[in-house]
């Protein structure tokens, strides 16, 4: 994956979301994540991932939802031969190697937020039965066990489940944490109900890999009526950036490759969103809230939606791409906690999602780019995300109206 020369791996004093990594909300209340256990990580976390709002988030535009058309997952009866594997098989295979778990565990913003939510709210977990969906190495299950959970069921479909069992045993929690290997949709828990469901289900662009539907399935099947889903809120945002140099390198490159026309690849490259770290100085407009999902109440179809947007230029500049990012929050804690993956927050392994535009929009300060974004599961592979972007501008130097289609895969 390509990387920009200047990426936002350090923290910023600005913010682009309702949170900073010290988690600042739209309201003036600031919630910090003190690290009580590890001085080094606390020092690292002093830089907020929820910085002060990068821009005034416009929440006035309403969201128009549409139901999802496809189920989240097709069950696997057996492990097929390599030439018979589906993309769903490769999805689980990808989580069998320790490397991807190392990257996630070393994402301090992600892992420390979950740790702080659990350790600083032990009253939520004490003597409770917890279900960890997509447990990976079992780190969240271990946090819950240490916080006083009565029992934790850690469900993991990949071969990492075997390693998680070893980790649980090595740390002396075998009497509290039970690791179950399999798909949530296909296994039965040893208990009829659980008090809490915890999961780190978020993918690139929030919804890529479609693990959210698995969490919703578990919620509907096993969660008690007054139970908790953690995290319980997730929001998707949109902004616009100037990105001439990188677009030239990644997209326009195919027009002339050592004297040959390879523009057919350019057309393909334009349809695939780029997951990368965006420099906050590239941001040209405000940020627009597209969709907020209440994980404790939403239905599976709510993850497919059409949302309007209105982006207002904050300076004279050019727009080469729109950028999507997300926030998650834990609203049932004693103090509201969460994190942002936005360009002006501390970098996470999710980075941001860049959607390049066919047009270069020349914008003057105060001019608007309006449109709507439709997000849905891909019909052939529900773990992929289809995105349709409609945008227009009627400005002094740009008059454009276009529809573009993207596929995250």
Q: Let me know whether 372 and 287 are in one domain.
A: yes
CA distance 215 to 199: 7
Tell me, yes or no, whether 312 and 391 share the same domain: yes
Per-residue pLDDT tens for 77-112?
333 343 444 444 444 454 455 667 698 889 999 999
Is position 281 within any domain?
Answer: yes
Domain carrying residue 280? 234-408
Residue 298 lies in a domain: yes
Q: Which residues are designated catalytic?
A: 200, 209
User: Distance between CA atoms of 58 and 50, rounded to whole angstroms?
Assistant: 17
Within-domain flag for 330:
yes
Looking at residue 150, the DSSP 8-state letter turns out to be S
Residue 47 has pLDDT above 70, yes or no: no
Question: Of 51-65, 205-219, 270-284, which gets the smallest average pLDDT?
Answer: 51-65
List the alpha helices (DSSP H) in 188-237: 212-222
Give the separation between CA 242 and CA 320, rounded to whole angstroms.
Answer: 5
Is 16 inside any structural domain? no
Is 72 a domain residue?
A: no
Residue 279 shares a structural domain with residue 170: no
Give the whole-angstrom CA distance, residue 218 versus residue 194.
10
Contact assessment for residue 138 and residue 113, using Cβ atoms and an 8 Å cutoff: no
Last residue of a domain, one of 140, 174, 200: 200
Please state the domain count of the chain.
2
Q: What is the pLDDT of residue 292?
A: 98
pLDDT category, 382, cuts 50, 70, 90? confident
Kindly state whether residue 1 falls inside one of the protein's structural domains.
no
390 and 253 both lie in a single domain: yes
Give dist(CA 129, CA 198) in Å, integer.
11
- The rounded mean pLDDT for the chain is 83
- Rounded to 5°, the CA angle 287-292-294 comes to 160
Give yes or no: residues 296 and 394 share one domain.
yes
Identify whether 34 is part of a domain.
no
Q: Give domain status of residue 141, yes or no.
A: yes
Among 200, 221, 247, residue at a domain's last position = 200
Same domain, 319 and 186: no
Lookup: tokens for 20: 């900073």
Shared domain for 138 and 276, answered yes or no, is: no
61-76 pLDDT, tens digit per residue, is 444 444 444 434 444 4
pTM for this prediction: 0.80
Same domain, 160 and 107: yes
Would you report the helix, strand and coil content of the chain in percent, each value rounded to 5? 25, 30, 45
Residues 358 and 272 in one domain: yes
Note the pLDDT of residue 383.
83
**Are residues 254 and 122 located together in one domain of the fold?**
no
The CATH number of residue 303's host domain is 2.70.160.11
Do residues 139 and 239 both lie within one domain? no
| Diameter over CA atoms, the chain | 68
pLDDT of residue 92: 44
């Amino acid at each position: 994956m390509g990387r920009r020369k200047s990426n936002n791996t350090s923290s910023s004093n600005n913010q682009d979301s309702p949170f900073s990594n010290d988690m600042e909300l739209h309201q003036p209340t600031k919630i910090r994540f003190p690290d009580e256990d590890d001085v080094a990580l606390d020092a690292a976390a002093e830089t907020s991932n929820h910085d002060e709002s990068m821009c005034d988030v416009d929440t006035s535009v309403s969201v128009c939802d549409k139901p999802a058309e496809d189920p989240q997952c097709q069950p696997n009866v057996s492990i097929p031969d390599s030439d018979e594997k589906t993309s769903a098989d490769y999805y689980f295979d990808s989580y069998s190697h320790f490397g991807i778990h190392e990257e996630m565990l070393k994402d301090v913003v992600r892992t420390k937020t979950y740790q702080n939510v659990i350790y600083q709210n032990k009253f939520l977990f004490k003597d409770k039965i917890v279900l960890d969906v997509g447990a990976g190495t079992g780190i969240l299950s271990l946090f819950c066990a240490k916080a006083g959970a009565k029992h934790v069921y850690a469900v993991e479909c990949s071969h990492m489940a075997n390693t998680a069992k070893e980790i649980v045993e090595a740390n002396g929690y075998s009497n509290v944490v039970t690791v179950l290997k399999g798909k949530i949709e296909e296994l039965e828990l040893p208990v009829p109900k659980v008090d809490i469901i915890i999961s780190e289900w978020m993918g690139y662009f929030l919804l890529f890999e479609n693990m959210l539907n698995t969490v919703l399935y578990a919620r509907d099947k096993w969660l008690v009526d007054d139970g908790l889903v953690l995290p319980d809120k997730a929001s998707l945002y949109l902004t616009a950036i100037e990105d001439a140099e990188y677009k030239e390198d990644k997209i326009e490159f195919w027009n002339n490759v050592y004297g040959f026309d390879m523009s057919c690849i350019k057309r393909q490259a334009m349809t695939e969103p780029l997951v990368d770290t965006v420099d906050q100085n590239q941001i040209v407009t405000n940020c627009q809230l597209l969709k907020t999902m209440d994980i404790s109440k939403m239905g599976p179809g709510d993850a497919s939606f059409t949302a309007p947007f209105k982006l207002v230029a904050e300076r004279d500049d050019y727009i080469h791409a729109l950028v999507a990012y997300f926030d998650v929050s834990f609203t049932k804690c004693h103090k509201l906690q969460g994190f942002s993956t936005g360009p002006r927050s501390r970098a996470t392994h999710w980075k941001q999602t860049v959607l390049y535009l066919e047009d270069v929009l020349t914008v003057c300060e105060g001019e608007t780019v309006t449109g709507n974004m439709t997000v849905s599961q891909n019909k052939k592979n529900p773990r992929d995300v289809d995105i349709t972007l409609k945008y227009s501008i009627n400005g002094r130097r740009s008059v454009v109206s276009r529809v573009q289609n993207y596929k995250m895969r």
